[in-house]
Amino acid sequence: MLKILLNGINGRMGKTIEELSHTYDNLEIICGVDNKQNNENKVKTYLNINDVQEKVDIIIDFSHPNSLDSILTYALNKKIGIVICTTGHTKEQLNKINDASKTIPIFISYNMSIGINVLQKLLKTALQSLYKDYDIEITEKHHNQKLDSPSGTAIMLMDTINNFVKDKFNEDVDFNHGRLGEKKREKKEIGVHSIRCGNMIGSHEILFGGNNEIIELKHTAISRDVFAQGALKAALYLFGKNSGIYNMNSMLNL
């Protein structure tokens, strides 16, 4: 039985993961950490990860980038792996994650949905045929409480495009975050648009616009369960792995 510490247990995703974990017979959330207390929690919850008494096998982090240092220190001391689902990390924090992965296994993904990672593979295929002759726009939509913009998933899609263009054409992409004023679209420009509205769970769309046709690649999350399932499957996948960085591509063999 895989014993999981859930960091961010009182957040939207934390609650969903804890509830969904009861449908698995090979794992359990044995404790949680959150800076907000909730007396309705079914498992022991701590304000500080250093106060955790339970023996855990792995950490799932669905919280805030500010908690990164504490969970990395804890995981390194305990020699356990981490599934990082939190987005919005700085370059410095990503470097810390890479450094820690030399000692422990770390799974990191901007989006825990299987579908969005298949979408990323479809994007790579579409770029092969469409990049040179089609305009490209990325739109991401989320609930009005989401802090980071553009979303981590949008950044992942942007990185996919940027890496493709650099590898194939040795060019830089000009990502334009929103459009304001009078300015003609540049040839290498790719628009990125963030929408924060209502309680939308998450939607990402890549639009390829040609002279006589439009091609749309789109993923919409219907329920937060899709991200919770991905996080729990990632924990099962990561347990027992050697030190290193793992992601959805390695788990799904994409």
CA distance 81 to 235: 8
Helix (H, G, I), strand (E, B) or coil at 179: coil
Q: Which two tokens stand for residue 152?
A: 């981590």
DSSP state of 142: E
Q: How many CA atoms lie within 13 A of 216 on its CB side?
A: 7
Alpha helices in the chain (DSSP H): 12-21, 68-78, 91-100, 114-130, 152-169, 225-238, 248-252
Neighbouring-strand partners of residue 229: none
Specify whether 146 is catalytic. Answer: yes
What residues have CB less than 8 Å from 189, skipping those under 6 apart? Answer: 174, 175, 176
What residues have CB less than 8 Å from 80, skipping those under 6 apart? Answer: 56, 57, 58, 59, 104
Assess contact for 137 and 215: CB atoms under 8 A.
Answer: no
Question: Angle 225-238/114-130 helices, nearest 10 degrees?
Answer: 90
Catalytic residue among 64, 96, 146, 188: 146
Catalytic residue among 15, 141, 142, 193: 142
- For the annotated catalytic residues, the residue numbers are 142, 146
